Chain A
């Protein structure tokens, strides 16, 4: 059976809008998931890639992360987590201190698209590639913070 492509909601389109790096600590961040991403009651840390790709609440609805013109994500669910929860401070095995922060990374067809990057106190850098140990620490800790917003059917 074939179905007609769906129309992407206008709110998802960038349409020349600038980045907005102001995040409220109560703002929610969304990502999609399937049942196999969970083990028991927790999201599997190893199913979390760094930097995580997320949609921010200010410019999207939760279901936008499962929107596809072809319906490819129709059976996926949606997870949510607040900016405050994801703004973790972690230390790696070299005693480098990282502060994880949301960064708005708009895309043409997903204006709300954001990632989590890391500020390193020792190097003074902000980027999406902290040390492997820091990344894994973040992925592990953040995985327990996400809650189900829309349940997966897959």
Chain B
């Protein structure tokens, strides 16, 4: 079997292959043999992340980078004992950002939560909302008009609940 370096690939197909966890090798009959080098779950996530990155706006990419930088946070990063976001939380926040980009409703900011997690926040004059993804796996959302009582609800980790939360926040911020 030829070495990986001998594989004839363009830079784009290399990226896709890397995202998928596949490697392509030339075969004597001029066809290619495709070998999967990682487990399927990782590969599908890799592809989703890659495909998402192609279409994301610059603002969205900036926010994605903010999530990526959270990997540098350490225990007690806020000096009040906060845990850094874990891998699952950052990964979910990243996926949520892709969904929001598709909806053309990006958050104003993405920050680490002092409760241990990642929060996507939305602001407008006198209005605030966020979706907070906790390391425990819980997701909480809030809509808040200044000087009033916040409205808080738990969001289950399924597409329907998440889309519903996004729409509630969209209505609140744009009203």
Binding site for B on A (CB under 8 A): 31-32, 36, 39-40, 42, 44-50, 53, 72-73, 76, 90, 92-93, 132-133, 136-137, 140-141, 144
Contacts and interface: CB of A to CB of B under 8 A. Distances in A.
A11 to B, nearest CB: 21
B128 A140 contact: yes
A133 B130 CA distance: 13
Contact of B144 (A31, A48, A140): A140
B128 A46 contact: no
A136 B119 contact: no
Given A46-B115, A46-B132, A49-B114, A140 B79 contact: no
Given A40-B123, A45-B142, A46-B121, A140 B150 contact: yes
Contact of A47 (B111, B140, B147, B149): B111
Given A133-B154, A137-B150, A141-B149, A49 B82 contact: yes
Interface in B127-172: 128, 130, 132, 138, 140, 142, 144, 146-147, 149-150, 152-154
18 contacts: A31-B80, A36-B111, A39-B109, A42-B128, A44-B121, A46-B111, A47-B78, A49-B82, A50-B115, A90-B149, A93-B152, A132-B154, A133-B152, A136-B140, A137-B152, A140-B142, A140-B152, A141-B150
A92 B128 CA distance: 19
A136 B123 contact: no
Residue with the greatest number of chain B CB neighbours at <10 A, chosen from A32, A45, A93: A45
B108 interface: yes
B114 A46 contact: yes
A45 to B, nearest CB: 7
B123 A39 contact: yes
B81 interface: yes
Contacts of A144: 146-147
Interface residues of B, number: 28
Given A44-B119, A140-B128, 10 more contacts: A31-B80, A39-B109, A44-B111, A46-B113, A46-B115, A46-B130, A47-B78, A133-B152, A133-B154, A141-B149
A141 B108 CA distance: 19
Nearest to B138: A132
A140 B140 CA distance: 12
For the complex of A and B, 4 pairs with smallest distance between CB atoms: A49-B114, A46-B119, A140-B150, A46-B113
A76 B79 CA distance: 10
Contacts of B152: 92-93, 133, 136-137, 140
A45 B149 contact: no
